[in-house]
Structure 1
């Protein structure tokens, strides 16, 4: 995901200009536009309805997480029911944004208060400096960190690790999916953390053969040329049918049987104005074919990332209602 610009035909869009970045000779990129960040607000005396704090994850990789806690939970007794936990991965085409980016900070805070959950947002490593599967490795770091974290008071006192969901937006939805494919194989090793489901919000997938929705070329946020560049900078090899990109290749689909056996449920949300909708429909069809319980919710019109980037609060509110119903129906006893 990038910031919104005026709609135009994707064939004519310069992806470097659209994303405001320069590709350096050494293969790294320089971002020309500063992305607004929001500091964490851990002070319990803060009037904020949602508190947040940053905690190191893997110091050798310089990764960390931002934990979001509804402030009212601090007023509850230790006997109060603990909250479900969402492990969240931000969007940005694997190359932009972070857990502190204001658009994703605000989104996570909204989810925490509206869904009455704890959110742990992962600041994973970005491409092209760290190409895939670095972000997937960071996702697994986060899951293993969660299962053993007893030092943090918020998580120890308020998080119900037996009701954990893996969620991501756009590229983060791709990360959430691949983290799920890995985690289902390691489910026993993750206890007492128990995953109940995956939430894929406008997940970012691709392939070598263009789809009808990709060829429309009129999305203000994700023109086709921008999507192409994101994959070019993030995949380990030049192959748009690599399993990291194309969800329908056999490497990933084989592990869906394990997700089915574990009883995980999957929610895929988006809109039919998103150029990625055909990819998302392919993913849903493949999961259903493997017997995975999948729910989907797609709005009319719209554009990629609209619930986060839109100035209409009703978009995020509608998404939160869908997420809340999914989580409540997926909780373990």
Structure 2
């Protein structure tokens, strides 16, 4: 089916879906967003919860910052053993949300608690005010900020040699492109060592609709009209959805080759997660397959049912995600004793 035919069958109003207003000057009014913000808990003497959190600025000229999550028991610990580091990029189609949005704050809180990790959640510039590649630039800049360990929580508790880039939805797209960029220039990040990329229901697209997009074109969680709007507002002006930012498998993934080759030689691994109730599932499966064909070490975790973002709002699904991440992180450290050894692409089905 052509893009035009598919578009004529879409029923959702994407602006209403996001609760945003597109202003005449091309900016977005986000005052009515449905995702409330969550405050930080930075002081171990005042907050009794299992995880502490605080916001730290990165680049004031871009208004970028990070929210750092630290397991509470480590705040007063003198242990020399440091914790793995997860640099996390939030979702929102590149146009909405932040690390303070409750669904992403709670996920990072869970990751820090259940994986006993330091989590750095990155605020990047949003489109359409700042179109791609601005968010990719901010994603990489955040890694250069992290590598200096300027913050005491990072300096005292984070193992910079065991770092994972993770993102949900648009954040998964960000983690992927930031990972490719940094693989090509990995020496610039030392002592930060990226062990793996975790693409959690990553957001990709293309001009030709996939069967899953057509099957779920008007689903409530991510209608196709909403995806179209996100790409329209975030891609560089004048390009279509087959640009590599949106469709990395276009032309057989030719523009991925250098980054994937470098990642393979460095022993980097990828985890791609998804579910068949998500319109994006076909693109996620296709990307995992292509990366494996290019020699990348890929683990895929695709489940039955669900919907886009279900791991963020359903506790049982969140627990399964944490289990998958724990296994991936544990085996990544082991697998990297043999640099560049690709894994099988495995599939798990959950009734």
TM-score (structure 2 length as normaliser): 0.89
Q: CA RMSD in A?
A: 1.4
Q: Secondary structure at the match of 1:287?
A: helix
Aligned residues between the structures: 321
Does residue 58 of structure 1 match 2:59?
Answer: yes
Q: Distance in 1 between matches of 2:86 and 2:235?
A: 26
Q: Secondary structure at the match of 1:206?
A: coil
Query: Which of residues 325, 328, 331 in structure 1 aligns to 2:327?
Result: 325
Does residue 96 of structure 1 match 2:96?
Answer: yes
Instruction: Tell me by how many angstroms 1:49 deviates.
Output: 0.6
Q: Is the 8 A contact 1:139 1:179 kept in 2?
A: yes
Does residue 299 of structure 1 match 2:295?
Answer: no
Q: What is the match of residue 3 of structure 1?
A: none
Q: Distance in 2 between matches of 1:10 and 1:307?
A: 28
Q: Secondary structure at the match of 1:88?
A: strand
Does residue 276 of structure 1 match 2:277?
Answer: no
Q: Which has the higher contact order (CA 8 A, sep 6+)?
A: 1
Q: Secondary structure at the match of 1:110?
A: helix
Q: Distance in 1 between matches of 2:300 and 2:155?
A: 33
In the TM superposition, what whole-angstrom CA distance separates every residue of 1:54-78 from its partner, at most 9, and x where no partner exists? 1111111010000000001124323
Does residue 106 of structure 1 match 2:106?
Answer: yes
Q: Is the 8 A contact 1:65 1:122 kept in 2?
A: yes
Q: Distance in 1 between matches of 2:286 and 2:301?
A: 14
Matches within 5 A, 1:3-14: 11-14=10-13
Q: Distance in 2 between matches of 1:251 and 1:55?
A: 34
Matches within 5 A, 1:208-223: 208-216=207-215, 217-223=217-223
TM-score (structure 1 length as normaliser): 0.94
In the TM superposition, what whole-angstrom CA distance separates every residue of 1:164-218 from its partner, at most 9, and x where no partner exists? 0000000000000000010001111110000100000000000111000001124
Query: Which of residues 268, 271, 275 in structure 2 aligns to 1:267?
Result: 271
Q: Distance in 1 between matches of 2:31 and 2:105?
A: 21
Q: Distance in 1 between matches of 2:62 and 2:75?
A: 32
In the TM superposition, what whole-angstrom CA distance separates every residue of 1:191-250 from its partner, at most 9, and x where no partner exists? 000010000000000011100000112432110000000000000033110010001132
Q: Distance in 2 between matches of 1:157 and 1:11?
A: 51
Q: Distance in 2 between matches of 1:277 and 1:95?
A: 21
Does residue 196 of structure 1 match 2:200?
Answer: no
Q: Distance in 1 between matches of 2:219 and 2:135?
A: 26
Q: What is the match of residue 242 of structure 1?
A: 243
Instruction: Tell me by how many angstroms 1:133 deviates.
Output: 0.4
In structure 1, stretches of 5+ residues that fail to align are 1-8
Q: Distance in 2 between matches of 1:239 and 1:218?
A: 22
